[in-house]
Amino acid sequence: MTTRDVRAPGLAALAGLLADETRAACLLALLDGRAWTAGELARHARVAPSTLSEHLGKLISGGLLTEERQGRHRYVRLAGARVAQLVEELAAQVAPESVAPSRTLRESSAGSAMARGRTCYDHLAGRLGIAVTDALTTRGLLVQDTGFALTEAGLGWFDATGIALDRRGRRPLARACLDWTERRPHLAGAAGAALCGHALDAGWCVRVGSERAVKVTAAGERALGELLGLEPSALR
């Protein structure tokens, strides 16, 4: 007689947390890496604040979200990069034809912006993320042969560009993250986070609207053209 895997209850509990459309909508929204108020998430998920509060309680107790309070405001965010990776990779398994079509012009425009460029927790995704990843690879700064890894030239590129890499943390420097719109991997890990953070801080990219879409600025087109040989057309 075989013994049941001790991980089974935990896996079942995690699946139960994800098996709700409202909770799934909250997790996807929080992939922008920012803290949201409960009210903002309620409006995003189109549910009453009381209903949303109940869902947030389950996600927090289940370890998928963390909570902080400032005055009368309650903020929540994803519990970390591993949770973001789980959500993004599960979302990438949803076939494009199974996604409901946009109901309004506003939804269609938002979807196009997200596909063009967005943040995936703390790194760049969409066509922008793929373009940057491909450029790093073409220039020999990143290899994808057996998983993502920065080359010595790549480490030097980050140093020369002034993008600080956290090389002491437990997080891998480079990791492949499957892009749910492009169906190809983009750069994640410490390097992906550092590059995204620098792009936003330096004004290469700016956030668009309340979603996690981003667009490349004129300064960003110049910088990415000089540093990675990217054509403006690839960034729009």
> The dihedral of CA 201, 204, 210, 212: what is its sign?
negative
What per-residue confidence (pLDDT) applies to 174? 96
| pLDDT attached to residue 105 | 43
- Whether the CA torsion 166, 231, 201, 196 is positive or negative: it is negative
Give dist(CA 150, CA 101) in Å, integer.
38
Give the separation between CA 21 and CA 44, rounded to whole angstroms. 12
Q: Which of 180-214 are b and which e, b meaning 16 or more Cβ less than 10 Å from the residue's Cβ?
A: bbbeebbbbbbbbbbbbbbbbeeebbeebeebbbb
Burial of 18 (0-12, 13-18, 19+ CB in 10 A): middle
Sign of the Cα pseudo-torsion (165, 167, 170, 174, in order): positive
Contacts made by residues 47-52, CB under 8 angstroms, sequence distance 24+: 47/22, 51/22, 52/22, 52/26
Task: Please enumerate in sequence order all residues whose Cβ is within 8 A of that of 127, keeping only pairs 6 or more positions apart, or say none.
Answer: 115, 116, 117, 181, 182, 234
Q: Please check the confidence at residue 55 and state whether its pLDDT lies above 90.
A: yes
DSSP for residue 145: B
- What the chain holds in terms of domains, given with CATH numbers, is 8-79 (1.10.10.10), 104-235 (no CATH)
Query: What digits encode the pLDDT tens for the residues 82-126?
Result: 898 899 888 877 755 445 454 554 554 556 888 899 998 899 999
pLDDT at 211 over 80: no
| Structure confidence at residue 227 as a pLDDT band (50, 70, 90) | very high
pTM (predicted TM-score): 0.77
Phi, psi of 75 (to 5 degrees): -110, 145
- Which one, of 61, 182, 45, lies nearest residue 120 by Cα? 182
Which whole-number Å values give the CA distances from 31 to 44, 63, 87, 116, 124, in the listed order? Answer: 13, 15, 8, 16, 11
pLDDT digits (tens, 9 = 90+) for 129-147: 999 999 999 999 999 988 8
Residue 44 has pLDDT above 50, yes or no: yes
- The pLDDT value recorded for residue 111 is 61
